[in-house]
Homo-oligomer: A and B are copies of this chain.
Amino acid sequence: MAQAHISSEKEIKERTGGWLARLAEQGYRITGSRRAVVDVLAEAGTSLSPAEIYEQGRVAHKQLGLVTVYRTLEKLEELGLVQRVHRPDGCHAYIPALHGHEHLLLCQECGRVEYFRGDDLSELSRRLEGESGYTINDHWLQFFGVCAACQ
A67 within 8 A of B: no
Oligomer copy total: 2
Q: Specify which of B1, B128, B131, B147 is in contact with A132 (CB 8 Å cutoff).
A: B147
Which of B132, B140, B146 interacts with A6 by CB under 8 Å? Answer: B132
Q: How far is the CB of A149 from chain B (nearest CB, A)?
A: 9
A139 to B86, CA, bound (A): 12
Encode contact with B along A113-125: 1 for CB under 8 Å, 0 otherwise.
0101011010111
Are B139 and A142 in contact, CB atoms less than 8 angstroms apart? yes
Residues of chain B within 8 A (CB-CB) of A118 are 124, 127
Interface centre among A3, A114, A128 (most CB of B within 10 A): A128
